[in-house]
Amino acid sequence: MGSPWPLPGGGAGEPSRTRRKRKRGSPLRNGENTGAAVGCAECGASQSPMWRRGPAGPKTLCNACGIRYAKAKRRRTHLEELLLKLREEILTPAVLSVEEEVYAALTLMAISSEHFLNASQQR
């Protein structure tokens, strides 16, 4: 005896499901890829589940190369921001108050005059 519930499709033990063909990726069609070559501008692949934007415009990179390109672009942007911040920190002189500058100058003069006095006395 079979299942107490009727099988879908009404057949005696025959499954009603039909096998679906798995999508292997969209092939390129005329005009779909704006790049000069037919395929991925980076690796040359002719099929991809999704075509992505690259440096040459939309739908010029396969899925893998497009993800890699976008990730590198984000990383590059982040590094450029860090570099600009670092340049600002390095190139911006430390602002000392006038009192600190005068104190530093007097200290330097005192140290150097002591050095010269000691050197002249030893001769």
Tell which CATH classification among 3.30.50, 3.90.1640, 3.40.1710, 1.25.10 matches the domain 24-92. 3.30.50
User: Could you give the CA distance from residue 64 to residue 82 in angstroms, rounded to a whole number?
Assistant: 27
Asked if 38 contacts 14 with a C-beta cutoff of 8 angstroms, the reply is no
Would strands 26-27 and 57-61 be described as parallel, antiparallel, or unpaired? Answer: unpaired
Residue-level pLDDT at 85: 87
Sign for the CA dihedral angle at 77, 83, 88, 89 comes to positive
pTM: 0.45
Q: Round to whole Å and give the CA distance between 59 and 105.
A: 64
Neighbours of 54 (CB within 10 A): 22
Instruction: Write out the chain's pLDDT in tens, 123 residues.
Output: 555 555 555 555 555 556 655 555 555 544 444 444 479 999 999 999 999 999 999 999 999 999 999 999 999 998 889 888 888 777 666 665 778 888 888 888 888 776 666 666 665
Supply the pLDDT for residue 105: 86
What is the per-residue pLDDT for 88?
Answer: 78
